[in-house]
Structure 1
Amino acid sequence: MAELSFIHRFEAGEDQSLAPLLLLHGTGGDERDLLPLGRLVAPGAALLSPRGKVLEGGMPRFFRRLSEGVFDEADVARRAGELADFVAEAREAYGIGAPLALGFSNGANIAAAMLLLHPEALAGAVLLRPMVPLASPPDGDLSGKPILMISGAADPLIASENPARLARTFRERDADLTHETVDAGHGLCERDLLLMKSWMARS
């Protein structure tokens, strides 16, 4: 494993036609958490999985929050830049192309921030249970960038208006957005897997 700016895991891909996946865990996860999910939804793809650098009560995250659902937006922007720099380092170290982010919860939120602030760093994204990461993101161009958002209809942590606003933000920037809502809470369900596999097969 190369010595890069984030603690991470990397698994080389067997199918070079597939975009590598940038796996971004939720609060309390680590660089191992989403590897099985990545293997499941994109067999043969290279997997790049960093550990968030921010600790909240000893639990890794990708950026600070002020309270539940209230983000430190200055930290969001700084950490999105750090992660974009890490992606550039990893691409050089491992000889991979621009990755498709696959993020859950806090990981989905930092991926959304990267799309809005550093769109060149990602080939696209799968955002599981995302929220709006920045109240007033800068204008940008996401023309044709494939994005899948999956929200939970019964998610106790996210009001339905929030991901709807994020979806509007992506559409205003001309992203190729698919936004699905599943009959679930904040945790993942079988329907999430089916939607991810189907979307990846088409993208």
Structure 2
Amino acid sequence: MPNTETPSTTDHIPDTAGWPVTGDDGRARPPWAATDPLLRDYYDTEWGNPVRDERGMFERVCLEGFQVGLSWRLILQKREAFRDAFAGFDPEAVAEMNIEHLLDDETLIRNRRKLQAAVTNAQATLALRDEGTHLGEFIWSYQPDTTPAPHTMAEVPTRSAESEQLAKDLKKRGFTFVGPVTMYALMESTGIVDTNLVGTWKRGSSGVWA
């Protein structure tokens, strides 16, 4: 991933100038997922696969918010701890939480603003239901007409007109830590856009884009 707010492109990446890297299993992957076992497994099993349900999308919004300024690898390492702390990312449960006790939890990222954002975003997620939609449907409504077809990491966008509008509209509804770069990373990770490099084994595998 090219975004500074998505899987880190500086950790565990071979000198490949951003081109796909073929692993010992014969599968080509982007450099960020080529060697580190944790990132490789995440890429192979989850990244870019469609996420459409409310709880699944809420978790991704929260995790992307926690990742701002940090590496995605760190977020993956702490993911189960986040799930335990935030009731499996059930929006109704999180919306009623007090985060004070989490500030002393060394298994989490102890950033008050980020922890509180999960609660704020849960409340905003519930409020979306009053509009006759849910978070998954709402975010998918910003799917563009076309998706990029990058050959190298340098060609992968970090934001788009859709991610900018999504960020703006989510902020109007009370969401935080949802900037346009973060929202583009969310769109990539949940299959709304396909930024798999041309030639990698997952390119087009989501079923969303031919």
Q: Which has the larger radius of gyration?
A: 2
TM over 0.5: no
- TM-score after normalising by structure 1: 0.25
Q: Where is the strand percentage greater, Structure 1 or Structure 2?
A: 1
Higher relative contact order (CA 8 A, sep 6+): 2
- TM-score after normalising by structure 2: 0.24
